[in-house]
Each structure stands twice: as structure tokens, then as C-alpha cells.
């Protein structure tokens, strides 16, 4: 996209972290912002603060795991601003644990937000972007965990690998159609967000059983290492600048990761080339 002034950006997971930072960056470029988040108080607070700073903001409480709510989000955006030009499918949650001991509720919750949320965003907004016959952009938030496979992160890994391949497929399809709509996939490493505390927004009907004792010690140790990595991670504003540049330059891959995480990715690619058994990489989440 070359023109940002007065264009409309829809940002899910927009009340905090990467979503908020990107919404603020888009607003700084003159875009009108549709903020979506399931955390209503944080959503209202972010919208209020952005408005006070001069941004034009519409806040829509949205559970992206539900197709009807994403469709309502699109309708509200069109009614309020008259169009949509950039869609940032960013909302995400996280759980940790051994693959065989993750509950059905864990799978349903994380797949619902991380993967189905992006699917709903693509199915709902891409037809709108195409119908406008104007330049547009879709950004899907995956993770470096969508390019590697860390232990005790099976549910999260599955969703993020899914987002990467969905994004790549969409990129190819739109290019073959000669569409003016472009795609980026965001794959961050450790970023200073509240992703490790995502359970604060977990629906009551998808609460998980207590972890099994056989896996709890390893899971706890992994969770502690993850939290330490997140606390020392990049600022969301750094991600936002990379995302903005990718949209402006029509760049597909948006990677921002620590050197050790990049090394894990390169090692995985070499293992694939040589058909070697995988070695465990370092922990990576956004």
C-alpha cells in the first residue's frame, strides 16, 4: 500500500501488545482505526486514549473465534467508515503442556482464536477488499513458532503453522488473480506482551482441567523460561514499525526474532534438507 491517509485499518487483538502498537502506528500514518478485542475494558481504554491523541477510532468488542462476530465487525467498519483497506488478523492466545496431556478445551480455545480467528478474518474481509478494486493489505500474525516446533507448545505450534500456510496460500492466490490486495505474515520471537497471561480472557466454558503431575514439572520450568524471554523481548513498537514497513513495501515475511531463535529456524531448514532427525529448538513465542 502506498496511500495511508484516510484509509481504514481493522486490527484484532487491538487493545494491547502488538495489536495496539500497530494500531497506533497506522493511526500515525493517517489511517482510521477499527479496534477489535475480546477484553472489553482494555478495548475501551485503548480507544479512548488513541482518540485523545487525535486518532479516529471505532471500538468493536469481538470474539474472533466466532464467525458471526467477525462478520459484525466488518459490517460495523463499513457502516462507520465506508470501507476497509487493511486487515490485521492479530488476536492470539497461548497454552503450554505436553502434547498428549493438553485438554480438549485447550485445543478448542487456542485453535478457535489463533487459527479460526484468522480464517474468519480472511473469509470475511478478503471479499470486501477485492470488491473495492483498490489497493489493500492483509496481515496475519503467526509466530516463529509457526516456522519451528518447540516442545510443550503443540497446541500453539499447530495454530501458528496453520496461519503461515494459510497466508502463503492466500498470497499465491491473490497474485495469480492479479489482485491489488497483498498479504504479509508476521512471525515474531519474544515480544514484551501479555501473551503468557492469555488465560485472563479464556471463556468459562473452555476452562481446562489442572495439569497432570507427570508433565507439570517440565511444563512449569518451560513456562518460567518463556516468561523470562518475553520480559526481555522486543518492544511492541518495534514490531509495529516492521509491520508498517512490510505493508508499505508489499513484503510478505515479517520476522523479528532474537539471534538464537533465528538460528533454530536455520537449523530446522538444514535438517529438512539433509532429512535429519529434528533437534529441539529454543522456545519461541510472540
Residue 267: all three cell numbers together: 537449523
3-state secondary structure 230-263: HHCCECHHHHHHHHHHHHHHCCCEEEECCHHHHH
Catalytic residue among 4, 152, 156, 234: 156
CA–CA separation, 160 and 11 (whole Å): 18
3-state secondary structure 134-159: CCEEEEEECCHHHCCCCCCEHHHHHH
Cα–Cα distances in Å, from 41 out to 159, 169, 190, 192, 201? 27, 36, 26, 20, 12
As a residue count, the chain comes to: 286
User: Smallest Cα–Cα separation from 1: which of 91, 124, 88?
Assistant: 88
Enumerate helices (H) and strands (E) in the chain, giving the number of each: 9, 7
The vertex-43 CA angle with 57 and 251, nearest 5°, equals: 65
Does residue 156 have an active-site annotation? Answer: yes
User: Smallest Cα–Cα separation from 147: which of 94, 186, 97?
Assistant: 186
| Residue pair 248/5 in contact by the 8 Å Cβ criterion | no
User: Smallest Cα–Cα separation from 65: which of 104, 32, 100, 114?
Assistant: 114
Cα–Cα distances in Å, from 212 out to 100, 146, 202? 10, 26, 20
Catalytic positions are: 156
Amino acid at each position: 500500500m502506498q496511500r495511508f491517509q484516510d484509509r481504514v485499518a481493522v486490527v484484532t487483538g487491538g487493545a494491547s501488545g502488538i495489536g495496539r502498537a500497530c494500531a497506533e502506528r497506522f493511526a500515525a500514518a493517517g489511517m482510521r482505526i477499527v479496534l477489535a478485542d475480546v477484553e472489553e475494558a482494555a478495548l475501551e481504554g485503548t480507544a479512548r486514549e488513541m482518540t485523545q491523541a487525535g486518532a479516529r477510532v471505532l471500538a468493536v468488542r469481538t470474539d474472533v473465534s466466532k464467525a458471526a462476530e467477525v462478520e459484525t465487525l466488518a459490517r460495523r467498519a463499513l457502516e462507520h467508515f465506508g470501507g476497509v483497506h487493511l486487515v490485521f488478523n492479530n488476536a492470539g492466545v497461548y497454552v503450554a503442556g505436553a502434547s498428549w496431556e493438553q485438554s480438549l478445551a485447550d485445543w478448542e480455545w487456542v485453535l478457535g482464536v489463533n487459527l479460526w480467528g484468522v480464517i474468519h478474518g480472511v473469509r470475511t474481509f478478503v471479499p470486501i477488499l477485492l470488491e473495492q478494486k483498490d489497493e489493500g493489505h492483509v496481515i496475519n500474525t503467526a509466530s516463529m513458532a509457526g516456522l519451528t516446533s518447540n516442545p510443550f507448545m503443540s497446541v500453539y505450534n499447530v495454530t501458528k503453522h496453520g496461519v503461515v500456510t494459510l497466508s502463503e496460500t492466500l498470497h499465491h492466490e491473490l497474485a495469480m488473480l492479479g489482485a491489488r490486495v497483498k498479504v504479509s505474515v508476521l512471525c515474531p520471537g519474544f515480544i514484551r506482551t501479555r501473551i503468557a497471561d492469555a488465560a485472563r480472557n479464556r471463556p468459562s466454558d473452555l476452562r481446562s482441567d489442572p495439569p497432570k503431575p507427570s508433565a507439570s514439572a517440565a511444563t512449569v520450568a518451560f513456562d518460567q523460561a518463556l516468561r523470562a524471554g518475553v520480559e526481555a523481548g522486543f518492544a511492541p513498537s518495534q514490531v509495529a514499525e516492521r509491520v508498517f514497513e512490510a505493508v508499505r513495501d508489499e513484503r510478505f515475511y515479517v520476522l523479528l526474532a532474537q539471534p538464537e531463535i533465528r538460528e533454530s529456524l536455520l537449523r530446522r531448514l538444514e535438517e529438512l534438507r539433509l532429512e535429519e532427525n529434528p533437534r529441539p529448538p529454543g522456545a519461541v513465542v510472540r
